[in-house]
Amino acid sequence: MGDFRDSSVTSMDSTKSSTGSPESSIETDASTKSEEYNKKIVQLSKDELIGDYKVVRRLGAGGCGVVYQVKANGKNYAMKVERTDMDKADQLLGIEAHVLKRLQSSPYAVPFIQYGSCQSKGLGLRVLTMGLLGPSIDELRKQQIKGKFKIGTVLKIGIQAIQAVTFVHCSYFVHRDVKPGNFAIGEDNCKRIYLFDFGLSRAIKKRGDLHLRTMREDIPFRGTSEYCSLNELTTGDLPWMGRSRSKTTILKTKLMDFEYMHGCPVAFSTILNYLRTLDYYKRPDYIGIEQAFFRMMAARESDWNQPMDWEVN
């Protein structure tokens, strides 16, 4: 399409690719990007043409690239870009494209449009074009009264999130940065939840291998340290929010469940305790967890026809 040069979507099991080493790419923690990376954030101008796409506005930037809203043939898309001259350890877009393409049969996956390379102002760029989503769950929560959702909305988010993560795991990937900011509603369907931002993902089995990869020792943390809890959507806060990773770890170790799960359904604690029994090689009971959420909905006489909180507020 347009002036893009199609790039082969990165294989997460290969040792070399046009985006560098998949292993080194995935092993980068988004929260510890170097100053050099920050200097290389791609700045596209409004109305600039990238292939057939016209830049509308910048949507955001994070550890896995800069995202713009773009338009082509009267339709809006999301475009994530990274520079080709970035350090190999910071090159995550090829991995994200690979995972996203593999997940296209999931109803919770962002539509994959195109992955390739192009030039902008003399700079080489890698470009991933996807369907455009609406606001993230984190943004929607902050817009609510008292900064939290009603339990009916939380449960419906939870069921879709469980189904989305289950599909990822059954496709032999782990997301490694599951949090409210990486789920968003559809642009046209505000009841559907989508999981996105797969730059930190990892394949959990080698190509053609029926067995999981052997668990590694002494690996650095991946993801966002604040978001390792069920209750943030329900209570609107976490005791460790805004603290350093080391202080977060200390707080999580010392706090009792009832201290930070106050206001959450009792079943949340049951699910949390079950998850704590799992190790790397144990398959979670996805169906059982999902059914627990459905039971909580039934107990509160909540159903899918009732509007989500963001539909009425």
Cβ atoms of 152 and 302 closer than 8 Å:
yes
Name the amino acid, one letter, at 265. Answer: P
Q: Which residue has the higher pLDDT, 5 or 132?
A: 132
Query: Which residues, 6 or more positions from 130, have their beta carbon under 8 angstroms from its beta carbon?
Result: 77, 78, 79, 80, 100, 110, 111, 112, 113, 196
CATH architecture of 144-312: Orthogonal Bundle (1.10)
Q: What percent of the chain has pLDDT over 70?
A: 68
Q: Looking at residue 176, what is its pLDDT? A: 86
89-98, 105-114, 155-164, 243-252: the lowest-pLDDT one: 243-252
Label residues 117-145 b or e (16+ Cβ within 10 Å = b): bbebeeeebbbbbbbbbbebbbebbeebe
Q: Looking at residue 240, what is its pLDDT? A: 46
Say how far residue 15 (Cα) sits from the centre of its chain: 25
| pTM higher than 0.95 | no
Q: Which residue has the higher pLDDT, 283 or 64?
A: 283
Mean pLDDT of 40-56: 90
Query: Which residues, 6 or more positions from 9, have their beta carbon under 8 angstroms from its beta carbon?
Result: 94, 97, 98, 101, 115
Phi, psi at 221, each rounded to 5°:
-65, 145
CATH code: domain 5-33+40-131 is 3.30.200.20
Cβ atoms of 177 and 165 closer than 8 Å:
no
Q: Looking at residue 292, what is its pLDDT? A: 97
pLDDT tens-digit readout, 59-95: 988 666 799 999 999 999 999 999 888 777 778 899 9
177 in active site? yes
Catalytic residue among 90, 177, 197, 309: 177
Cβ atoms of 112 and 100 closer than 8 Å:
yes
pLDDT band at 38, cuts 50/70/90?
low
* Beta strand residue intervals within the chain, DSSP E: 5-6, 49-50, 53-62, 65-72, 75-83, 112-120, 123-131, 133-136, 173-174, 183-186, 193-195, 202-203
> What tokens were used for 273?
């305790």
Q: Looking at residue 209, what is its pLDDT? A: 60
What mean pLDDT is reported for the chain? 79
Q: How far is CA 69 from CA 55, 224, 270, in A?
A: 6, 25, 41
Q: Whose CA is closest to 114, among 176, 28, 50?
A: 50
Q: How far is CA 26 from CA 198, 218, 221, 223, in A?
A: 10, 15, 11, 11
Residue boundaries of the structural domains of the chain: 5-33+40-131, 144-312
Mean pLDDT of 189-216: 78
pLDDT tens-digit readout, 95-110: 999 999 999 999 999 9
Q: Looking at residue 213, what is its pLDDT? A: 57
117: left (phi over 0), alpha (psi -120 to 50) or beta: beta
Q: Looking at residue 177, what is its pLDDT? A: 87
> Cα–Cα distance between 56 and 68 in angstroms, integer?
7
